[in-house]
Structure 1
Amino acid sequence: MSGFLFVVPPLVGHINPAVGVAAELAARGHRVAWVCADPGLLRRLAGPEADVLPCAGPAPAARPPELRGPEALKYLWEGYLLPLAEAMAPGVRAAAQDFRPDVVVADQQAFAGALVAEHLGLPWATSATTSAELTGVYDGIPKVADWLGARLDELRARIGDPAGDTDPRFSPHLLLAFSTPELAGPSAVRGDHIHYVGPSIADRPAAPGFPWEWLDPARATVLVTLGTANADATGRFLTECVGAVRERADRVQAVVADPGGAVEASGDDKDVLVLPYVPQPALLERAGAVVCHAGHNTVCEALWHGVPLVVAPIRDDQPVVAAQVVDAGAGVRVRFGRVTAARLGAALDTVLHEPAHRTAAGRIRAAFRAAGGAPAAATRLERLAADTRPEETR
């Protein structure tokens, strides 16, 4: 039996993939614990019995919605990821010393997990919940890459081993990428320690109360979701989505996730159902298409079910993931800031009625399921624990 300490940021899209892996390890008899700055969120996603060790950390940053490109990236790092790492570091260190894990599993954006593990001499694995950083996204913009590297060096000097030189985003021991080359594309990095295990899709029971009887089997169901971290920027886009669906109400209906309350809801509407939260995995089993922000988690869950996409990236890794979807042939991209109901409607017509996109989504679905998901990731972690365990304890 080995011990695995998962270090994750308090972000749904980063926790969800790790949940399935942790559950698989626990089912195999291993010790599992978590470090997260939001224990309530962690337990909501991983289950109330999850062993969450105390850790400080800021809430996710509410970025100005107009920020895009390098400015949005700079704000994300300086306003959230770097302060999060500094705040988490004491808790991660205490958790590692108390729990005594054989392996630390550090999310790619939870820098404290990697830096503390390196400082304590513990083997650590990277949980890459988005493939964007694995595709050389900064190769063409060396100033950005240099700026990120400098910030990480400064962070290491404050919370890690100043003599260390490993990029905390890329473990030299094991990197688990929750995608496959069929989506990530031919530029995705390779290596003996890099394993594309596909999405980790854990069973997430649907919250009671969703009106399943509302769905009309005679019409295609479109799921519209822009994730949980973009509520500040979604109002106009969601309104245009609703307009596009209403123009096609004879053949399309939509379920709209609207946690920010940007769209006015009507209880007797037969064409558009607006809810703050939706049972996404269960809905994807019935969906004909998904309109989303190209968040990696949502994209992978849609393609796990073979559902084609209309992607409207907002910021961060989303443009990279959107490009992967389009290059793979599994969807159509629209411009988030300039979209109209007419353009969205045309994109919906394309993915719903032109078979090439559904065929491509089905090809990625097959690759995802063959990659192994959470069980494959758990097996790789077991091997790392066994290979790095002191010889006298084997």
Structure 2
Amino acid sequence: MSRFLFVAPPLVGHVNPLTGVARELVARGHRVAWAGHGELLGALVREPVFPCAVPEDAPVERPAGLTGPSAFQFLWRDFFVPLADAMAPGVAAAVDAFEPDVVVSDQHAVAGALVAERRGVPCVGSASTSAELVDPLASMPKVAAWVDALLAALRERHGNPLARNDPRYPEHGVLAFTTAALAGPVDRPGLHLVGPALGEPRPGVEFPWAELDGRPVVLVSLGTANTGVGGRFLRAAAEAFADRPGVRAVVVDPGGELGPVPDNVLVRHRVPQLELLPRCAAVVCHSGHNTVCEALWHGVPLVLAPIRDDQPLVAAQVVDAGAGLRLRFARAGAEAIGKAVDAVLDPAGGHRDAARAIGDSFRAAGGAGAAADHLIAVAR
């Protein structure tokens, strides 16, 4: 029996893929613990949690309209670096108390990798999204050098100053919850493309299943992290279905942005997404990696309106794979959204076939089981 310590940032989308891996390890008789935001992890995981301090305003609120390299730099300077400094003492205490054989550190919770290298504990990275797999800064050498300097300073404070690898890519590899069928060719050494490790359905989310009356279901969701910025898009999406009575739309509106909607539009603050997706014919979303992978797992094509961060990259991967279409979030109106939905629902377009092929690749990759295999091999 081995011990595995999972280190995660206070971001639900980064925790969710690892919960399935943790369950798999426990089912095989191993011990698992977590280090991170105590309240968030306590609501998401079953295993013991070692709470770590996090910045008071985590997750950080970015200025409206901040995009591109400026948004990337803001995230690192104002969130990821302060997060690493805040978490490092708690991670060190967790390593000392739990004595893990392996630390599994999310790429954006670099305190995990740095403390592990200082303590001499083997570390495996976790890439919850494809953003870091294709070197998004390859065309921006000055920004890349700036990030390298930030990481070097963090290493001086919390890691082994003699180490030379990027702490986002520990020496024992990185678990990437995708496949080449979606991400495309990836030539970084040490990557283990295990496919998605789907989380568990969350209990207590009620849904009026009887109102799904046999018409094709289209789910519209911008995720909970985009509450407050998606009102215009959600209203346009609801309007798009006014001329499509043959479709049953389910719009997720956590912020209560919508007023009256067409009769064929069902508005909910929350939905049981994992249970709903097998009944969907299409998904309209913001290109969040988890939502995209969950839809493709079920062979559901996508209409994508990326907002920020890794979302444009994920959207490009889906489009390149033929499994969906991309819109401009800030400009797409009801007409454009409606036409895109029509296109991905049309069997002749091939989007559903492409989505199913990616879903097949996900299942073949092994998911949580394949991730657990690698972690156990490292522990041995």
Structure 1 position 305 matched with structure 2 position 304: no
Alignment of 1:105-254 (within 5 A): 105-186=104-185, 188-191=186-189, 193-217=190-214, 219-248=215-244, 250-254=245-249
Letter in 1 for 2:322: G
CA-CA distance at 1:77 after TM superposition: 1.3
Q: Does 173-182 or 147-156 show the bigger shift? A: 147-156
1:391 aligns to what? Answer: none
What 5-or-longer segments of structure 2 have no aligned partner?
A: none
Runs of 4+ in structure 1 off by over 6 angstroms are: none
Letter in 2 for 1:349: D
Looking at structure 1, the residues matched to 259 and 81 of structure 2 have their Cα atoms a distance apart, in angstroms, of 37
Q: Please state whether the residue corresponding to 2:125 is helix, strand or coil.
A: strand
CA-CA distance at 1:209 after TM superposition: 2.1
2:89 aligns to what? Answer: 90
2:264 aligns to what? Answer: 271
1:19 aligns to what? Answer: 19
Looking at structure 2, the residues matched to 17 and 270 of structure 1 have their Cα atoms a distance apart, in angstroms, of 36
Match of 1:358 among 319, 339, 352: 352
Please give the TM-score of this superposition, normalised by the length of structure 2.
0.96
1:377 aligns to what? Answer: 371
Alpha-carbon displacement from aligned partner over 1:273-327 (angstroms, at most 9, x marks no partner): 2222211111101011111111111110110000000111111111111100000
Q: Does 199-208 or 19-28 show the bigger shift? A: 199-208
**Percent of pairs identical after alignment?**
57
Q: Please state whether the residue corresponding to 2:279 is helix, strand or coil.
A: coil
Q: Please state whether the residue corresponding to 2:280 is helix, strand or coil.
A: coil
Looking at structure 2, the residues matched to 207 and 215 of structure 1 have their Cα atoms a distance apart, in angstroms, of 19
1:389 aligns to what? Answer: none
> CA contact under 8 A between 2:300 and 2:352: conserved in structure 1?
yes
CA-CA distance at 1:262 after TM superposition: 1.8
Letter in 1 for 2:53: A
Q: Please state whether the residue corresponding to 2:271 is helix, strand or coil.
A: coil
> CA contact under 8 A between 2:205 and 2:272: conserved in structure 1?
no
> CA contact under 8 A between 1:206 and 1:282: conserved in structure 2?
no
Q: Please state whether the residue corresponding to 2:225 is helix, strand or coil.
A: coil
1:260 aligns to what? Answer: 255
Letter in 1 for 2:251: V
CA-CA distance at 1:162 after TM superposition: 2.2
Looking at structure 1, the residues matched to 346 and 307 of structure 2 have their Cα atoms a distance apart, in angstroms, of 26
Please give the TM-score of this superposition, normalised by the length of structure 1.
0.93
Alpha-carbon displacement from aligned partner over 1:234-262 (angstroms, at most 9, x marks no partner): 111111111112221x1112112222222
CA-CA distance at 1:26 after TM superposition: 0.6
Looking at structure 1, the residues matched to 64 and 231 of structure 2 have their Cα atoms a distance apart, in angstroms, of 11
Q: Please state whether the residue corresponding to 2:375 is helix, strand or coil.
A: helix
Structure 1 position 328 matched with structure 2 position 321: yes
> CA contact under 8 A between 1:174 and 1:384: conserved in structure 2?
no
Letter in 2 for 1:63: R
Q: Please state whether the residue corresponding to 1:25 is helix, strand or coil.
A: helix
CA-CA distance at 1:104 after TM superposition: 0.2
CA-CA distance at 1:81 after TM superposition: 1.2
> CA contact under 8 A between 1:17 and 1:202: conserved in structure 2?
yes
CA-CA distance at 1:208 after TM superposition: 4.3
1:42 aligns to what? Answer: 41
Looking at structure 2, the residues matched to 270 and 342 of structure 1 have their Cα atoms a distance apart, in angstroms, of 18
2:287 aligns to what? Answer: 294
Q: 1:65 to 1:216 in 2, by over 3 A?
A: farther
Alpha-carbon displacement from aligned partner over 1:57-84 (angstroms, at most 9, x marks no partner): 0220111231111111112112211111
Q: Cα RMSD (Å) of the superposition?
A: 1.4
Number of residues of Structure 1 aligned to a counterpart in Structure 2: 377
